[in-house]
Amino acid sequence: MLIINEEISIDENELEFSFVKASGPGGQNINKVATSVQLRFNVAESKSINEKVKILIFKNSCNKLTKNNEILIEAKRFRTQEKNKKDALERFKLFLLESVKVKKKRKKTLPTTSSVERRIETKKKRANIKKLREKVNKKIQTE
């Protein structure tokens, strides 16, 4: 049983691990041994997590799910299978914890009175500077 938090614990039989040959450092060993780990977890068919958690995962992480509603995590950071498997499980835990967080709604804020006054004052100064750029002859001709 993989415990994520108080609400979520996942049966390890629902996690599917596959081992693939990885690219990167490792010399000739990398060409012979499948050290990269792919962890798959089908969210829709899982019996370990309740509907509320499933909805949160679909809502918050829909762009990270495959077409089959699977979470796919690939770990190839390390040179050994065991370390990559642990890394994949850690990243899976972090992914689930981030997915089930309820995001706070943003409160709309209004500018303060003093900031509005400052903005208007600078606008007036700027307008005055631009007005002073006008030709003097233009004012005389209009009168």
The reply to whether 113 falls in a domain is no
The reply to whether 125 falls in a domain is no
The reply to whether 37 falls in a domain is yes
Mean pLDDT to the nearest integer, 60-78: 76
Residue 120 confidence (pLDDT):
96
Average pLDDT over the chain, rounded to an integer: 78
At 2 the three-state DSSP class reads strand
- If one compares 26 and 130, the residue with the highest pLDDT of the two is 130
Residue 5 confidence (pLDDT):
67
pLDDT at 30 over 70: no
The reply to whether 143 falls in a domain is no
- If one compares 42 and 113, the residue with the highest pLDDT of the two is 113
CATH number at residue 11: 3.30.160.20
Residue 122 confidence (pLDDT):
96
Residue 4 confidence (pLDDT):
67
The reply to whether 23 falls in a domain is yes
Segments forming the whole domain that contains residue 26: 2-100
pLDDT category at 53 given cuts 50, 70, 90 is confident
Helices 81-99 and 51-60: crossing angle, nearest 10°? 90
Q: With the CA atoms of 75, 79, 81 and 84 taken in that order, what torsion angle do they form, in degrees rounded to the nearest 10?
A: -30
Mean pLDDT to the nearest integer, 84-97: 84
Least Cα distance to 45 among 19, 1, 15, 23 occurs for: 15
The reply to whether 63 falls in a domain is yes
93, burial (CB in 10 Å: exposed 0-12, middle 13-18, buried 19+):
middle
- If one compares 117 and 138, the residue with the highest pLDDT of the two is 117
pLDDT category at 116 given cuts 50, 70, 90 is very high
The total of structural domains in the chain comes to: 1
Residues of the chain with pLDDT > 90, as a percent, come to: 16
Residue 101 confidence (pLDDT):
75
Say which range, 43-47, 81-85, 111-115, has the weakest mean pLDDT.
Answer: 43-47
The reply to whether 131 falls in a domain is no
The reply to whether 42 falls in a domain is yes
